[in-house]
Amino acid sequence: MSATLIKGSEISKQIKEELKQDVAKLKEKHNVVPGLATVLVGEDEASKVYVGAKEKACKELGIYSERIDLPGNTSEEELLALIERLNKDPKIHGILVQLPLPKHINETNVLYAINPRKDVDGFHPVNVGKLMLGEPDFLPCTPHGIQQLLLRSGIETDGAHVVVVGRSNIVGKPIANMLLQKKKGANATVTVCHTGTKDLASYTRQADILIVATGRPKTITADMVKEGVVVIDVGVNRLETGLVGDVDFDSVKEKAKAITPVPGGVGPMTIAMLMYNTVHSAKKTLSQAI
């Protein structure tokens, strides 16, 4: 058996087309243009690529994009002052500070300074708390992308056993909380595994849906999954042979019912959901003004 590919590159295009129509309606009916500010501090090459991809997506959808590049020696006080300006700017509905930041800047202080109503990454504790309560304003982009992959691929989560490998604040914790909510596209039984888990394979073999976000290449091998599993591979690892995920794709796809490729799986969904959050923020701002 060879798995069906869950192609985030294709599903993200569907979402972007829907958003493009939403943006056009906001402009036509309300003269509102969703706006996203991206802040990049320093010269990290990977961060430049990510920010460039977000700029390109904004242009495709008709979203106003303001990119602010700052030198690596920018002080924390200067960055916080910039965020405060963006918090007050009515043209800006979403603020994204690209991580990682230089070591002399406290990331927590920066993320907490962003107005929760413009926190399109979904990292502010106000938005994390709302997610826990099942009443989110903004869902974190990568977990939201994973949920949309499952929904739009017709994969049933209701009553399924989902095993999440990884407990980061960016992916593992939020996707676990999202999938245990009593809602459509969720209502699963969720197990979270991590570096402290003993006999990891004994848990991953139980998974109906396995979500892997370890940051280590080919952590999950074929002997660690059961026949018919659905595998969502969040990892992107650059090896000499090219990009690989946290799952040994070639062996696991022979046992899985469906699996995300790397690249072209979860990655494109993250940017699509950032665009979604930006448009959603513009709509919320408009509804509060009316």
What CATH number is associated with residue 42?
Answer: 3.40.50.10860
- Report pTM: 0.95
The sign one gets for the Cα dihedral 247, 138, 77, 87 is positive
In terms of residue numbers, what domain contains 260?
141-267
**Tens digit of each residue's pLDDT (9 = 90 or more) over 172-219:** 999 999 999 999 999 999 999 999 999 999 999 999 999 999 999 999
Average pLDDT over residues 71-86: 97
Average pLDDT for the chain: 96
DSSP state of 220: B
One of 16, 22, 118, 121 is an active-site residue; which one? 121
Number of domains in the chain: 2
Residues 47 and 97 occupy one common structural domain: yes
Residues 251 and 152 occupy one common structural domain: yes
| 13 contacts: CB under 8 Å, gap ≥ 6 | none
Q: Can you give the pLDDT at residue 21?
A: 98
Percent of the chain with pLDDT over 70: 99
Query: For the chain, what is the largest distance between any 2 Cα atoms, rounded to a whole number of angstroms?
Result: 57
Position 276, amino acid: Y
Instruction: Evaluate whether residue 253 is within a structural domain.
Output: yes
Whether residue 121 lies in the annotated active site:
yes
Instruction: Evaluate whether residue 6 is within a structural domain.
Output: no
Residues 163 and 212 occupy one common structural domain: yes
Whether residue 98 lies in the annotated active site:
yes
Residues 154 and 251 occupy one common structural domain: yes
**Alpha carbon distance 220, 211 (integer Å):** 10
Residues 147 and 253 occupy one common structural domain: yes
Whether residue 246 lies in the annotated active site:
no
Give the domain-ending residue among 51, 81, 115: 115
Q: 212: which strand partners? A: 165, 233
One of 54, 118, 173, 255 is an active-site residue; which one? 54
Q: Can you give the pLDDT at residue 1?
A: 59
One of 98, 119, 147, 248 is an active-site residue; which one? 98
